[in-house]
Amino acid sequence: MDRARPLPSRRRLLKGAALAAVPYALLPSTPASAGSQAVDYPDVEWRPASSSNYTASDRPMAYSLDRVIIHVTQETYARTISIFQNPEKKVSAHYVVRSADGHVAQCVREADVAWHAGNWDYNTHSIGIEHEGWVDQPAYFTDALYEQSAKLTAAICDTYGIPKDRAHIIGHFEVPGTDHTDPGPNWDWVRYIRLVNFA
């Protein structure tokens, strides 16, 4: 009959547990997946643009933020995100709003400079929001799109102290030097600014 081994001391058990934990403490943390990246606005999906399509920055420290620029994609929601993720396209926006349900994706952090306005000064001082649709097809400008976009714009304005008016919430067509016409004549600015102010 074998003799029973003596039980290890409490000190020896704690020492062994500490040594076993060391390799895990030295490992780098698991990188966040595309869906779990911290976003700047609650309840949005993180769909990151290629780092070739925006400029990393530290706004509002590096550049003050004083306007929101409203765009219309001239593409579908999915295709727009795909374009932003293509490193050869050299374009991005901070957010994309889907027409059918107002779902919002964030593609560039607000601290970084998205390449959306076609004007470096305007890019550095603004947040760009793309809206799924075409300027000549007003059916894309749904109630859900207007409402969710207005909530997003209101939150951005509140965060950075941007006035909620047409001088500071502008269309892409109002950017100096642009040849774009979006959001176009079918965009209801009166309704949109009212929704922003009541959000």
Helix axes 189-198, 143-160, angle to 10 degrees: 60
What value does the mean pLDDT take over residues 6-17? Answer: 44
Sign of CA dihedral 131, 56, 49, 37: negative
**What are 148-160's pLDDT values in tens digits?**
999 999 999 999 9
Indicate which residues carry an active-site annotation: 130
CB 182 within 8 A of CB 171: yes
For the chain, what is the radius of gyration of the CA atoms? 24
**What are 97-121's pLDDT values in tens digits?**
999 999 999 999 999 999 999 999 9
Strands 126-131 and 54-55: unpaired
Q: What is the pLDDT of residue 38?
A: 80
Question: What sections of the chain are H helices per DSSP?
Answer: 10-26, 77-85, 120-124, 143-160, 189-198
With a cut of 70, say whether residue 23 has pLDDT above it. Answer: no
More confident residue, 28 or 71: 71
CA distance readout (Å), 18 to 14, 23, 26, 62, 196: 6, 10, 13, 44, 54
The two structure tokens encoding residue 155: 């939150």
Distance CA 126, CA 169 (A): 9
**What residue ranges in 27-146 does DSSP mark as E strands?**
45-46, 54-55, 67-72, 95-97, 104-106, 113-114, 126-131
CA distance readout (Å), 103 to 42, 63, 78, 90: 12, 28, 12, 24
* Position 35 confidence tier, pLDDT thresholds 50, 70, 90: very low
More confident residue, 13 or 50: 50
More confident residue, 14 or 86: 86
The two structure tokens encoding residue 113: 């400079």
